[in-house]
Structure formats: C-alpha cells, structure tokens
Amino acid sequence: MSTNTVLDRFRLDGKVAIVTGASSGLGVAFGKALAEAGADLVLAARRADRLENTRALIEERGRRALTVTADVTQPDDAQAVVDAALAEFGRVDVLVNNAGKGTAVPATRETPEEFREVIDINLNGSYWMAQACGRVMKPGSSIINVASVVALTSGRLPQAAYSASKAV
C-alpha cells in the first residue's frame, strides 16, 4: 500500500510553468496552485501593475516568479514570454493558456471588430503561446488550454465569439 498523497503524485518541484492572463481571476488561482505544487512561475498578462500582486502571492508560497507584460495576440510577445522564461529559469515545462476575453453581445449586433478581438485573444493567442512553448518544451511537458462549457451550449447567453473561440 502506497502512502503517497494525491499532492505527492502531482508535485512540480524543479518545473517551470507559464501562466497567461495571470493578472486576475483564474490566472491568479492557477499560479497559486502551481506554486503550491512546487513550480516556479512565469506570469504573463497585459496589466503589469496587477501582475505584481500575483507575483507576491507566488513568492509567499516560497516559489520564484517572473512577470512579463505581454499581449498574447502578438506572436512576438508570445515569443518574448518564452525567451524570458528560458533566460530566468532555463526551461519551460507547463503552459497554462488562460488569457481570454468574453463578450455579452448578441451575434446579430456584434461588430466584426468585437468578434475579431475575442477570437484573437482566446484562439490565436493560445496558438501563438503554444507554438512558442512547443519549440522549447521537452517530452513530458504539458500545454493546458482553458476551455469553457459555453463552447458546447449557449446557455441563452449572447456570446457567439466567445463560444466559437473556446470550441476549438
């Protein structure tokens, strides 16, 4: 009989994780959980001031954290996040593609610009980050793409762009 706990089986000691959208909400929660599991973190988001709050939470848990201001819709920014991770930690083991945006605009009134903005962050941004990380990740690494149940059902919510971007 094993005496390992569930947490023992999911330890991330010596691993480096990138979390996008790390300035609020789920991004903060993912960062904290990964730090508690033993990972060092690269925290990426557009809002630099709020990233500092997340960094402090990670460091309170005894882990190292690097903040990178980035817009995942820009392939160069995605690459810059990975480059910063490699410069600071020498590796990338986990990517949590969490950056995202939702809307509450009926499809009949959503402008092309509003639709494109959601798709660009939720879909294209995840792709650019996965591509940049995939170039340097070793076998056994993980890419976690945050999806949504809204991709499967509208739930009577007017979120055409969000549903489309999370269905992929």
Model confidence over 107-138: pLDDT tens digits?
888 899 999 999 999 999 999 999 999 999 99
Q: What integer is the mean pLDDT of 2-21?
A: 88
In a domain, 90, yes or no: yes
Cβ-proximal residues to 8 (8 Å cutoff; 6+ apart), any chain: none
In a domain, 141, yes or no: yes
Cα–Cα distance between 48 and 92 in angstroms, integer? 21
In a domain, 1, yes or no: no
In this predicted structure, what is the pLDDT of residue 112? 94
Give tens-digit pLDDT for 69-88: 999 999 999 999 999 999 99
Share of the chain above pLDDT 70, in %: 93
Q: What integer is the mean pLDDT of 11-25?
A: 96
Residue appearing with tokens 């809002």: 47
Cα–Cα distance between 43 and 63 in angstroms, integer? 12
In a domain, 3, yes or no: no
In a domain, 99, yes or no: yes
In a domain, 124, yes or no: yes
In a domain, 51, yes or no: yes
In this predicted structure, what is the pLDDT of residue 74? 98
pTM above 0.75, yes or no: yes
Position 151 confidence tier, pLDDT thresholds 50, 70, 90: low
In this predicted structure, what is the pLDDT of residue 153? 66
Q: Give the CATH number, domain containing residue 46.
A: 3.40.50.720
In a domain, 2, yes or no: no
- Residue 87's domain comprises 12-166
105/7: higher pLDDT? 105
**DSSP element (H, E) containing 45:** strand 40-45
In this predicted structure, what is the pLDDT of residue 4? 79
Q: Count Cα atoms within 13 angstroms, Cβ side, for 37.
A: 20
Q: The tokens of 53 are what?
A: 């709050």
How many independent structural domains does the chain possess? 1
In this predicted structure, what is the pLDDT of residue 1? 61
In this predicted structure, what is the pLDDT of residue 162? 81
Share of the chain above pLDDT 90, in %: 76
Q: Does the active-site annotation cover 162?
A: yes
User: Which listed residue (30, 89, 115, 162) is catalytic?
Assistant: 162
